[in-house]
Amino acid sequence: MKLALVFNPFKYKIHEENILIVQKYFGLFPPLSLAWVAAIAEQAGHEVIIIDSRTLRLSKKETLKRLNLFKPDIMGFMMTTYMFPDTLEWIRYLKNNLNIPVVIGGYNLRVYPRESVSFSEIDFGVLEHAYYTIPALFKELVKENPNFDNVPGLVYKKNKKVIVTPHFQKIDFNKFPNPARHLLSNELYAEFPTERKNFTVMVTSLGCPYNCRFCEAGNTNYNARSPEIVINEIEECYYKYNIREIDFFDYEFTCDRERVLKICNLIKERNINISWACRSRVDTVDKVLLEKMKEAGCSRIYFGLESGVQEILDKVGKGVTVKQISNIIDICGDLKIKTLGFFLIGAPGDTKEIIKKTVKFAMGLNLEYVQFSKCLAKPLTSLWEDLISKTGVDYWKEWVLGRETDRVLPRPWTELTNDDIDKLTKWAYIKYYSRPLFIVRALLNLKSFVEFKRKLFAYIDMCFFQKNIAVKDEDFLAYNENVGLLSKIKISGYIRKLKLYFKKNRKSLKNK
């Protein structure tokens, strides 16, 4: 089978947890979920391409052209709840033109499997991981009379009814092949704090055993790849794709202390000169572990700090103290590990005064970056369950079904209005990033001109172009620093168009 996986661009949403300028500069990341699916399909003997239309800034039409060249038997898309309509729009356009089966997968399938596959343009959904489902599905698809009942974890339609088949197999993350980065333009990716290129993201564990009320991953089975498999993927990134900076996107990278120590030792033993970042809690690291991580190239840690007020930390079920936060951020500072703090604005119990205290607390810590996110009732969180029982409506289900518009969700857990939350979030960013000493230190720490440009533009946009209250932006485009490379792609396209024009109009031009 020939499988084409498409990663479409997505627009800014009013219901997002991030304000627009943060979303714009968040970064261009490899479509990792699709790269896993591609690797799994290749391992089963299929031919695959990934078209990253978001990063390459390809329109639907340009993407269709590429697909026509490849001539796929089936197309695949990754679905998140929030961007479901954007991807559906792309599926509709491409399916109308190619008329081949469409398979979807991704986090939203775990939340709303039946709703996701209810659309006529979508033929199949992968409920969980692609590992067992995709090879079994493709095996059936090549048969004259396919029978999908025995494909594990498949969502499909039979006589107009949506069927979900059981998935009994245990997922062993160690068995997964490494994501198919050979199908990606690895030199194009960067996130906001990226210092070295090529840059990539890695996921080395699934799930998180903690139970924060605002997070989808809370209390999900922790399933980690072994240190040997992780180092094998790091080496592949380093030698095969010239990757020099890796961001581990695991929900909680330092969950298993021994595993992290082993990974660090292996990086040192094999002499791999990479800088890396990860996401952690302040209660799963300590001085000794942080020292080992630093020695192995850890240059940045993203901590979910959430609030500077103990009462709020307790209300969101964080399970850490304000003191633990200050202590760990100080240790990271001493070790010269850069830290980014994620904070919530509009969390349960938040008031204007509490948010001001949180911002003051953030400014008092030795952090390199902060991210202030608007607290949101995301699907599968306890905030979401509470909202459904209060309002009687599951907004996200209606959104996926196309029966809800993009609007702000109620936040009954705080006295703050949504407008207050928008304004306070913008205020928090400007207050935090406008301190003269902070700016001087950031300038001294810069590693390249592209990094300087990215950060300067983001600062100017935040101060002058961020609206006080979230509004739609139909022209939304993620910041893309590959202008040179992309314009080369665009110019060659333009020349091709000119040639076509002359070819078509040769006669009339001659007469003139």
Q: Which residues bind ligand B12 (CB under 6 A)?
A: 5, 10, 16, 29, 31-34, 36-37, 76-78, 80-83, 103-108, 111, 126, 129-131, 134, 201, 203, 216-217, 249, 251, 379
CB 67 within 8 A of CB 61: no
We find the least distance from the C-beta atom of residue 182 to ligand B12, in angstroms, to be 16
Considering the complex, state which of residue 223 and residue 445 has its C-beta at the smaller distance from ligand B12: 223
Considering the complex, state which of residue 101 and residue 106 has its C-beta at the smaller distance from ligand B12: 106
Considering the complex, state which of residue 329 and residue 458 has its C-beta at the smaller distance from ligand B12: 458
We find the least distance from the C-beta atom of residue 133 to ligand B12, in angstroms, to be 7
- Cβ neighbours of residue 423 under 8 Å, at least 6 residues apart? 468, 469
In whole angstroms, give the CA distance from residue 129 to residue 110. Answer: 10
Considering the complex, state which of residue 181 and residue 244 has its C-beta at the smaller distance from ligand B12: 181
In whole angstroms, give the CA distance from residue 275 to residue 272. Answer: 9
We find the least distance from the C-beta atom of residue 209 to ligand B12, in angstroms, to be 14
We find the least distance from the C-beta atom of residue 134 to ligand B12, in angstroms, to be 6
- Over the range 28-50, which residues count as b (16 or more CB within 10 Å of their CB) and which as e? bbbbbbbbbbbbbbbebebebbb
We find the least distance from the C-beta atom of residue 274 to ligand B12, in angstroms, to be 18
Helix pair angle (257-269, 287-295), 10° resolution: 30
Considering the complex, state which of residue 221 and residue 445 has its C-beta at the smaller distance from ligand B12: 221
We find the least distance from the C-beta atom of residue 330 to ligand B12, in angstroms, to be 28
Helix pair angle (84-98, 60-70), 10° resolution: 50
We find the least distance from the C-beta atom of residue 62 to ligand B12, in angstroms, to be 18
CB 34 within 8 A of CB 5: yes
Considering the complex, state which of residue 80 and residue 366 has its C-beta at the smaller distance from ligand B12: 80
54 C-beta neighbours (distance < 10 Å), count: 18
In whole angstroms, give the CA distance from residue 150 to residue 154. Answer: 9
Considering the complex, state which of residue 80 and residue 321 has its C-beta at the smaller distance from ligand B12: 80
- Closest residue to ligand B12: CB criterion: 105
Considering the complex, state which of residue 117 and residue 354 has its C-beta at the smaller distance from ligand B12: 117
In whole angstroms, give the CA distance from residue 113 to residue 162. Answer: 9
- Which residue's entry shows tokens 């033993």? 269
We find the least distance from the C-beta atom of residue 39 to ligand B12, in angstroms, to be 9
In whole angstroms, give the CA distance from residue 229 to residue 245. Answer: 18
We find the least distance from the C-beta atom of residue 130 to ligand B12, in angstroms, to be 3
463: left (phi over 0), alpha (psi -120 to 50) or beta: alpha
Pairing of strands 47-52, 2-7: parallel
We find the least distance from the C-beta atom of residue 136 to ligand B12, in angstroms, to be 12
We find the least distance from the C-beta atom of residue 32 to ligand B12, in angstroms, to be 4
Considering the complex, state which of residue 217 and residue 424 has its C-beta at the smaller distance from ligand B12: 217
Considering the complex, state which of residue 82 and residue 395 has its C-beta at the smaller distance from ligand B12: 82
- Cβ neighbours of residue 95 under 8 Å, at least 6 residues apart? 75, 102, 121
Work out the end-to-end distance of the chain between its first and last CA atoms, rounded to an integer number of angstroms: 50
- Write the single-letter amino acid at 75: M
Pairing of strands 190-191, 27-28: antiparallel
Strand order in the sheet with 47-52: 47-52, 2-7, 74-78, 102-105, 124-126, 154-158, 161-164
- Which residue's entry shows tokens 């009942």? 149
Residue 298: beta bridge partners? 276
Considering the complex, state which of residue 83 and residue 267 has its C-beta at the smaller distance from ligand B12: 83
